[in-house]
């Protein structure tokens, strides 16, 4: 309905003298007070300045010229300073409820983003250790935004970017090498700031089992590093699989050096007078882009900073034909990614095709206090340990409960709650409860697909139907803003609406025709709950 109303309003605005560029976003929202109607827009108030007219006068002109299907919109009213309220036709409401049932698993999908070919990069942890709670929000946010984009018609590829070279990987190899020698009672100095997690010992022990003491004479860490990388990456992939996340592709930063992409970036910046040498380092003239000072691209040690390979990586993304490159970054990237965007622009690419989704960090709490679970893997909590503690669905759901822009306190005690106080169980119970009701009805009389839905006239029935019909708009809104928590809010409201309906409207025990109609309303509600949970990557159980 949102798109239908937007498509009806836009030509009238052009008729009133606006160009397409002058037309602001036409927002269609549900009024807070249901008595005001089923949908509303404030577009008239947004146009007061460009049209130089009173908003209410604009609303009157707009409404008088609107061409609306009476089978969809029963009435249009102007309220207050210029709000335009729409009321759905009764037949439209019942037809759309039938549409929910017919569409089934496809209900909620749209072609809103059909022109988007998106590469979404997320997680991107180097293979130096298992995924931690710190990676969890990144992983779940990236995958769920990908699902939202797919549900709204976009073509999406999930990519994991990593680096298996450099100082940290060498340190990883030396750490495993040291533990291998330790296991065999051979002297070997543990590297300074080496990786001390128990997983390092596990990898070393597996090497002892495979090779015995034949590796004691190895002069460098390469073999140990390669083994560690293989084991850790397998572990990372298994952890992601537990969270219902599967990557489509992997990109190794090392290839940017091997194919000359890094050199190309530096040479292009030099040619354009935007890179220079100072104090043994290579600098990027970021002051040309509004920064207070220039930025180091290559340290005096010869080691590149994060920005250099990332500029090269983004040119490779855009060369592959994606018109949206979406990066999921933690708040620690806020100061660095603008430099990458500037570099992309200098390289001749459209930086508007790159979007950065920044999320705030996560802390584990229990009973309002910082919580540290016992761990056998160094001084961090792994995602696997968290999932072992609270479950996969709960872990995934809790990472999405808040806006990415807000700090997330992951309440372990709430997450372990088995009842409706747990927000994910609340939604899953709602779905399971409806399925239980439907099974009981089916035992009494098989549920028909063709009852007269127009007998659903109770306020709670109509309110629930209208809530179901806003699901596609809720999916579109969450996709547009890259905010999965908006969909969670909708699902909570839907579950609450069903509870009210079930309290007010008896199903089992009513006359056959009314029981069948209400059963289909319950079935449609279960369908939308299941579709919403599927987008969130969470199971919709039939029994709990």
CATH number at residue 106: 1.10.730.10
Residues 508-536: what's their mean pLDDT?
95
Quote the CA–CA distance of 327 and 311 in Å, as a whole number. Answer: 13
Please say if the pLDDT value at position 272 is more than 80: yes
Please say if the pLDDT value at position 484 is more than 70: yes
Q: How many domains does the chain have?
A: 3
> pLDDT per residue over 72-98, tens digit each?
998 999 988 899 999 999 889 999 999
Verify that 374 and 475 share a domain, yes or no.
yes
Structure token pair of residue 322: 């994606």
> pLDDT per residue over 375-425, tens digit each?
545 667 899 999 999 999 999 999 999 999 999 999 998 898 877 778 999
List the beta bridge partners of residue 330. Answer: 359
- A 10 A CB-CB count for 500 gives 14
- pLDDT score for 332: 87
CA 394 from chain center: how many Å? 16
Verify that 58 and 104 share a domain, yes or no.
no
Q: How confident is the model at residue 52 (pLDDT cuts 50, 70, 90)?
A: confident
- pLDDT score for 96: 93
- pLDDT score for 95: 92
Please say if the pLDDT value at position 374 is more than 80: no
- pLDDT score for 29: 85
Quote the CA–CA distance of 544 and 432 in Å, as a whole number. Answer: 6
Residues 51-62: what's their mean pLDDT?
90
Quote the CA–CA distance of 84 and 5 in Å, as a whole number. Answer: 11
Please say if the pLDDT value at position 255 is more than 80: yes
Please say if the pLDDT value at position 451 is more than 80: no
- pLDDT score for 307: 92
Please say if the pLDDT value at position 341 is more than 60: yes
Verify that 107 and 54 share a domain, yes or no.
no
Q: How confident is the model at residue 203 (pLDDT cuts 50, 70, 90)?
A: very high
**CATH number for the domain harbouring residue 84:** 3.30.1360.70
Q: Indicate whether 253 belongs to any domain.
A: no
Ramachandran quadrant class, 537 (left: phi over 0; alpha: psi -120 to 50; beta: rest)? left
Spatial CB neighbours of 350, under 8 Å, sequence gap ≥ 6: 318
Verify that 376 and 502 share a domain, yes or no.
yes
Q: Indicate whether 401 belongs to any domain.
A: yes
Verify that 57 and 105 share a domain, yes or no.
no
Please say if the pLDDT value at position 450 is more than 80: no
Q: Indicate whether 320 belongs to any domain.
A: no
**Of the residues 202, 225, 242, the one at which a domain ends:** 242
- pLDDT score for 1: 76
Verify that 78 and 104 share a domain, yes or no.
no
Please say if the pLDDT value at position 319 is more than 60: yes
Q: Indicate whether 296 belongs to any domain.
A: no
- pLDDT score for 471: 96
> pLDDT per residue over 425-449, tens digit each?
999 999 999 999 999 999 988 887 7
Verify that 507 and 406 share a domain, yes or no.
yes
Its pTM surpasses 0.85: yes
Phi/psi at 120 (5° precision):
-110, 120
- A 10 A CB-CB count for 69 gives 10
Q: Indicate whether 218 belongs to any domain.
A: yes
More confident residue, 79 or 146: 146
Verify that 465 and 491 share a domain, yes or no.
yes
Structure token pair of residue 504: 């007010």
Please say if the pLDDT value at position 520 is more than 90: yes
Dihedral sign computed on CA atoms, order 70, 71, 74, 80? negative
Q: Indicate whether 348 belongs to any domain.
A: no
- pLDDT score for 167: 85
Q: Indicate whether 445 belongs to any domain.
A: yes
Residues 46-51: what's their mean pLDDT?
88
Verify that 80 and 185 share a domain, yes or no.
no
In a 10 Å sphere around its CB, with 0-12 CB exposed, 13-18 middle and 19+ buried, how is residue 311 labelled? buried
- Could you tell me if 411 and 366 are in contact, meaning their C-beta atoms sit under 8 angstroms apart? yes
More confident residue, 106 or 445: 106
Verify that 108 and 77 share a domain, yes or no.
no
Strand 155-162 relative to strand 249-252, pairing: parallel
**Of the residues 208, 242, 276, the one at which a domain ends:** 242
Residues 496-521: what's their mean pLDDT?
94
> pLDDT per residue over 208-236, tens digit each?
999 999 999 998 999 999 999 999 999 99
Verify that 76 and 185 share a domain, yes or no.
no
> pLDDT per residue over 418-428, tens digit each?
777 789 999 99
Dihedral sign computed on CA atoms, order 148, 151, 152, 158? positive
Verify that 77 and 174 share a domain, yes or no.
no
Please say if the pLDDT value at position 5 is more than 80: yes
CA distances in angstroms from 180 to 167, 173, 192, 204, 539, listed in the order given:
20, 10, 16, 5, 42
Instruction: Give residue 177's domain range.
Output: 167-242
Quote the CA–CA distance of 300 and 66 in Å, as a whole number. Answer: 67
Q: Indicate whether 357 belongs to any domain.
A: no
């Amino acid at each position: 309905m949102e798109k239908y109303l937007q498509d009806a309003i836009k030509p009238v605005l052009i008729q009133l003298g606006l160009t397409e560029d002058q037309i602001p976003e036409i927002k269609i929202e549900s009024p807070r007070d249901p008595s005001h109607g089923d949908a509303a827009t404030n577009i008239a108030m947004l146009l007061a300045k460009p049209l130089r007219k009173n908003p209410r006068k604009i609303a009157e002109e707009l409404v008088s010229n609107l061409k609306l299907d009476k089978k969809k919109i029963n009435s249009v009213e102007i309220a207050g300073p210029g709000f335009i309220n729409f009321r759905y036709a009764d037949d439209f409401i019942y037809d759309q409820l039938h549409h929910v049932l017919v569409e089934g698993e496809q209900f909620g999908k749209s072609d809103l983003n059909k022109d988007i070919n998106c590469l979404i990069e997320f997680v991107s942890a180097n293979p130096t250790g298992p995924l931690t709670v710190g990676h969890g929000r990144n992983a779940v946010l990236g995958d769920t935004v990908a699902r939202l984009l797919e549900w709204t018609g976009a073509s999406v590829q999930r990519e994991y970017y990593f680096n298996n070279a450099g100082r940290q990987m060498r340190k990883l190899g030396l750490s495993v090498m040291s533990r291998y020698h330790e296991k065999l009672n051979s002297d070997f100095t543990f590297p300074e700031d080496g990786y001390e997690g128990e997983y390092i010992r596990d990898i070393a022990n597996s090497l002892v089992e495979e090779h015995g003491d034949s590796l004691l004479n190895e002069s460098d860490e390469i073999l140990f590093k390669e083994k560690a990388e293989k084991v850790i990456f397998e572990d990372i992939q298994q952890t992601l699989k537990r969270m219902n996340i599967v990557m489509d592709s992997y990109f190794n930063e090392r290839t940017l050096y091997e194919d000359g992409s890094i050199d190309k970036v530096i040479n292009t910046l030099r040619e354009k007078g935007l890179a220079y040498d100072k104090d043994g380092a290579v600098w990027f003239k970021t002051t040309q882009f509004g920064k207070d000072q220039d930025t180091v691209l290559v340290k005096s040690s010869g080691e590149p900073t994060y920005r250099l390979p990332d500029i090269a990586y983004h040119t490779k993304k855009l060369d592959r034909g994606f018109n949206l490159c979406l990066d999921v970054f933690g708040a620690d990237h806020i100061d660095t990614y603008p430099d990458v965007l500037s570099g992309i622009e200098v390289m001749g690419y459209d930086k508007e095709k790159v979007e950065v989704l920044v999320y705030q960090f996560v802390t584990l709490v229990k009973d309002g206090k910082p919580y540290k679970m016992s761990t056998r893997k160094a001084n961090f909590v792994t995602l696997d340990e968290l999932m072992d503690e609270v479950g996969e669905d709960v872990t995934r759901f809790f990472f999405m409960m808040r806006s990415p822009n807000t700090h997330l306190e992951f309440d372990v005690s709430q997450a372990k709650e088995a009842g409706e106080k747990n927000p994910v169980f609340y939604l899953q119970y709602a779905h399971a409860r409806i399925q239980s009701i439907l099974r009981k009805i089916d035992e009494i009389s098989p549920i028909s697909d063709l009852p007269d839905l127009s007998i659903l006239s109770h306020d709670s029935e109509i309110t629930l139907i209208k809530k179901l019909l806003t699901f596609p708009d809720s999916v579109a809104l969450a996709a547009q803003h890259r905010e999965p928590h908006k969909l969670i809010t909708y699902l909570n409201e839907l579950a609450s609406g069903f509870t009210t309906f079930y309290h007010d409207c008896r199903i089992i025990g009513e006359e056959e025709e009314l029981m069948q109609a209400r059963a289909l309303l319950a079935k449609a509600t279960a369908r939308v709950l299941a579709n919403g949970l599927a987008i969130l990557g969470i199971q919709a159980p039939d029994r709990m």
